[in-house]
Amino acid sequence: MSPVRTPTVEAVWEALAEVPDPEIPLVSVVDLGLVHRIDLDLEAAGGGRLRVELLPTFVGCPALELIRAAVAERLAGMAANVEVAMTFAEPWTSDRITPEGRRKLRESGFAPPAPAEAAEQPGKPLFATIAVRPTASCPYCGSQDTELENPFGPTLCRAIFWCNRCRQPFEQFKRV
Amino acid sequence: MTAVMAEALDRGTREALAGLLLAMADDEFVLGFWDSEWTGIAPLLEEDVAQSSIAQDEIGHAQALYQLLAEVIGGDADRIAFGREPAAYRHARLLDHARTDWAFSIARRFLYDTADAARLDLLVACAWPPLAGVVAKMRREETYHLLHMHTWLERLASGGDDARGRLAAALERLWPDALTVLAPLPGEELLVAAGILAEPMAAAEQRWLASLRPIFTRLELPFPFIQLEGERLETTLAVPAEPRDGHDGSDSFRWLWGEFTMVYRSDPEAVW
């Protein structure tokens, strides 16, 4: 398959922005900040090489292979050799979710994760803040008067809260 | 510390690294399967969800660690995970116990999670980048497990006589085996010299015990240690001589092994 136009890194980003999260389809892998690196080498032997590295949100997330395969399928044809790999080269954190991603999460009925504590130190992520209970704003009514019901939810990346104002449960995309 | 490549390590250090990865992976793997035994029958619906989610985290951590091990020793991660006889597993003896009752499961998980956190602290600046990367990710997830276990320990300790009594009895029974999690690993001094491990396991064990002491004192829970000169905490308990071997002698582990290897043994090529 020959590409219609010469692919650019920008075109790869645009293509990645069309790959949805399998659980929350309104948000893309770009919105979630999953893209670690894009290497595009059109001069590489055999008609060019494109390598994309993605960061897993959770180590044991069962959707990792689905996401990897969906990205590989979308990028197929942008270079003769397309490789998509998962990497732990840097830890994915919920601070990588873009402002647009946070808006789309809210639109999908999920509270976005609270931003990182200012006091968090690079070497000691989160462990220093163990006494701090996670907080969230209700995605339906915006109230801050919410309580953590369960730090574990229906998937690894979600926690369950209760809104005291609109009196209903909601899910938060966990801060990690 | 400059980054090291696994291939560039001498044979002894590579073997020690493989031993560390296998111990950590087997710990997370076996505990994850014990946790999953609560799926459907936990005392609260929230706990059903929580235990299942924690189990999935732990088995995910094990999968990532077995993958690293496969890179060091060659072979296939699934085969390492499922293709061994019970005697070849290297998890800590603490993880041989069946889930028993809720207080027992919480007591065991509290002891394991806090000890594991002290072990992960030794690997934050690990000179082998692939392990440093997985550890950085694991620590962020384990934060939620720790938060949850601290909450449950407090809850049972300050609950009625039944809850408190069961928790205290479980801790009494588990303490000797809890000391197997941070027992010295073969060749660990080579890992320290290579910058893979920051300090020997014994240093992590002392920090772990020092961190638990104020909690157990405040909650009036069993803490069978005495302070020697300096800050050092010593136990009077008989710690198992083989902290990570001889699991074929444990009926409960043999049973669990039979459960979690069932699919693999019936079809090693199965994909799910």
Q: Is residue B57 part of a domain?
A: yes
- Residue B55 near chain A (CB below 8 Å): no
Q: pLDDT tens for residues A53-89?
A: 999 999 999 899 999 999 999 999 999 999 999 999 9
Selected residues 102-121 of chain A with any CB under 8 Å from a CB in chain B: none
- Determine the average pLDDT of the residues in B245-267: 95
Q: Decide the pairing of beta strands A49-54 and A81-86.
A: parallel
Residue partners of A78: CB distance under 8 A and separation at least 6: A3, A7, A11, A12, A15, A50
**Are A130 and B125 inside 8 Å of each other by CB?**
no
- Residue B150 near chain A (CB below 8 Å): yes
Range of the domain at B124: 6-266
Please tell me the distance from the alpha carbon of residue B78 to that of residue B260, in angstroms, as a whole number.
12
Residue pair A131/B150 in contact (Cβ under 8 Å)? The answer is no
How does residue A47 score in pLDDT terms, banded at 50, 70 and 90?
confident
Nearest to A152 among B54, B58, B125 (CB): B54
Residue found by looking up tokens 């029974």 in the block: B173
User: In which order are the strands placed within the sheet that holds A81-86?
Assistant: A35-41, A49-54, A81-86
Q: What's the sign of the alpha-carbon dihedral B77, B82, B87, B89?
A: positive
Name the residue among B35, B90, B21 with its Cα closest to residue B256: B35
Q: pLDDT tens for residues B15-56?
A: 999 999 999 999 999 999 999 999 999 999 999 999 999 999
Nearest-CA distance B192 → chain A (Å): 19
pLDDT at B1: 55
Q: Is residue B230 part of a domain?
A: yes
- Residue A151 near chain B (CB below 8 Å): yes
3-state secondary structure of B234: strand
> Residues B225, B227, B232, B235: what is their CA dihedral angle, to the nearest 10 degrees?
-20
Q: What share of chain A is helix, strand, coil (3-state, %, to 5)?
A: 20, 25, 55
- For an interface test with B, give the residue of A36, A37, A53, A59 to mutate (most B CBs within 10 A): A59
pTM of the model: 0.92
Q: Is residue B242 part of a domain?
A: yes
Specify the DSSP class assigned to residue B96.
G
Nearest to A150 among B46, B137, B138 (CB): B46
Residues forming beta bridges with residue A84, ordered by sequence position? A52
Residue partners of A140: CB distance under 8 A and separation at least 6: A109, A163, A166, A168, A170
Nearest to A59 among B53, B124, B138 (CB): B138
Nearest to A93 among B125, B130, B140 (CB): B140
Q: Decide the pairing of beta strands A110-111 and A158-163.
A: unpaired
Residue partners of B270: CB distance under 8 A and separation at least 6: B263, B264
Nearest to B133 among A61, A88, A123 (CB): A88
- Determine the average pLDDT of the residues in B214-222: 96
- Determine the average pLDDT of the residues in A156-168: 93
- Determine the average pLDDT of the residues in B111-117: 97
Q: pLDDT tens for residues A15-26?
A: 999 999 998 999
How does residue B201 score in pLDDT terms, banded at 50, 70 and 90?
very high
Ordered by where they begin, the domains of chain A are 9-86 (3.30.300.130), 108-173 (no CATH)
pLDDT at A119: 45
3-state secondary structure of A111: strand
Residue partners of B172: CB distance under 8 A and separation at least 6: B222
pLDDT at B7: 86
3-state secondary structure of A145: coil
Q: Is residue B272 part of a domain?
A: no
**Are A60 and B57 inside 8 Å of each other by CB?**
yes
Residues forming beta bridges with residue B235, ordered by sequence position? B225
How does residue A117 score in pLDDT terms, banded at 50, 70 and 90?
low
Residue pair B50/A150 in contact (Cβ under 8 Å)? The answer is yes
**Are A127 and B143 inside 8 Å of each other by CB?**
yes
* Helix runs in chain B, H state only: 11-36, 45-73, 77-82, 102-121, 129-157, 161-178, 188-193, 201-219, 251-260, 262-266
Chain A neighbors of B137, CB-CB under 8 A: 56, 59, 88, 91-92
Q: Is residue B1 part of a domain?
A: no
Percent of chain B having pLDDT more than 70? 99
How does residue A125 score in pLDDT terms, banded at 50, 70 and 90?
very low
> Which two three-digit tokens encode residue A145?
């008067």
Number of domains in chain B: 1
Residue pair B142/B209 in contact (Cβ under 8 Å)? The answer is no
pLDDT at A84: 98
Q: pLDDT tens for residues A126-159?
A: 544 444 567 899 999 999 999 988 889 888 889 9
3-state secondary structure of A126: coil
Please tell me the distance from the alpha carbon of residue B67 to that of residue B86, in angstroms, as a whole number.
20
More confident residue, B269 or B81: B81
3-state per-residue secondary structure call for A19-78? CECCCCCCCECCCCCCEEEEEEECCCCCCCEEEEEECCCCCCCCCHHHHHHHHHHHHCCC
Q: Domain containing B33 — which CATH number?
A: 1.20.1260.10
Residue found by looking up tokens 């692939």 in the block: B130
